[in-house]
Amino acid sequence: MNNTYTFKYYRHHFTMGIIRLLVLLNVLCFGLVNGQIQNYNVLDFDATGDGQTDDSNAFVKTWNAACGGGGDIHISILLIPAGRTFLIQPVVFNGPCRSSNTKVQLEGVIVAPSNKEAWSNPNSRMWIKFSAVIGLVIVGSGTINGRGSSFWEQHLKASQRPTSLHISKCDNLIISGITSIDSPKNHISIATCTNVAVSNIGLFAPEDSPNTDGIDISRSTNVNIFDSTIQTGDDCIAINTGNTNINITRINCGPGHGISVGSLGVNGGNAAVSDVQVTQCTFNQTMNGARIKTWPGGQGYARNISFENITLINAKNPIIIDQQYIDKGRVYSAERSAVAISNIKFIDFRGTTSKKNAIKIDCSATTRCKDVLMNGINITMADGKQPRVDCKNVDGKSEDTILTHDCFDNV
């Protein structure tokens, strides 16, 4: 880690605010009153915790005991104690569990194998996976270290690298306090979950690490992510297809590629994203800020999306809608359809950009972008000059007298 990266990483541990405490109290309150908590320490199931010995089997045995515990137990706690480092290979923790809440208390450090060749399955697409665990709680001040550098150095495609923490079909999910560093690919994936709260976490990877998204969300509903720091080599948060009612608040993002809706509609796919609110976030030296990206030829919709009260610190592309998105290595094909983008709000953006063409709304002539609102856009370049706005095939309005007013074809 360089000095800036190290400082930001350790500074995160001093910002575990009152929300994390309230989350823990809420989860534990019923069990404490009724004496229905059972602890399962991985050390009691033969984990070594020396950072060298493979503790995968010990973790699985501990999980099986915690998840299978029932009777009068309301909360089962799998404890990963502080002061120890646990090496684990790719592992899956399956539900359903018998207790109404299963809690993973991460206080120590979990590390992946030291390099790609040391993985038991080098082709694994996930390192740690939780599946079908209703009421899963992952909390603590511990760290997950994906040791991703060996994957990055081999210049492997994203599809050839694993996600550090993948969570699927886990309704009523809580994640709070933990830190993830150096994931080979994205740090956290949340898929097919309903009612999710993620708070006070830190996700860190070098700025040049490829595809190390902070949080990827897909096919999920009622997801709340707040009060967290994400500094990676790709999107801080990516909102993929199948999502509705996503709330993102007070995220410190950067370096990275901002907060993105998409990409949507790849290979002619039918996308559906709605009711996304991003508020009170900071983009610090990011490649992008607020971004919506869709592939030409896609279908479906992205609608009811708002970015409000945003702080910019030398963000390269503070506002961008790209309906002509083409990823590296792909060939452009003739556009016959496009994901419909409508009811989009960019409100109260303030700060600086490092790029002259700071705002780009590049929409499709096939569907156009409709009902786009841009108000309170106060963006300047570092030298104080006014940046440019580039808009195409967009209908909407702005009350601003400079910068964004001339963006819309229907004004």
Residues marked as catalytic: 257
The C-alpha atoms of residue 293 and residue 264 are separated, in whole angstroms, by 7
Q: Residue 163 burial by CB count (10 A; 0-12/13-18/19+): exposed, middle or buried?
A: buried
For residues 49 and 104, give the distance between their C-alpha atoms in angstroms, rounded to a whole number.
16
CA dihedral 250, 348, 212, 294 (to 10 degrees): 130
Residues found in the chain: 411
| C-alpha–C-alpha distance, residues 209 and 154, integer Å | 12
Q: HSE (CB half, 13 Å, CA atoms) of 383?
A: 5
Q: Of 325, 318, 276, 274, give the one whose Cα is nearest residue 300.
A: 274
Q: Which two tokens stand for residue 70?
A: 């029932």
- The H or E element containing residue 291 is strand 288-294
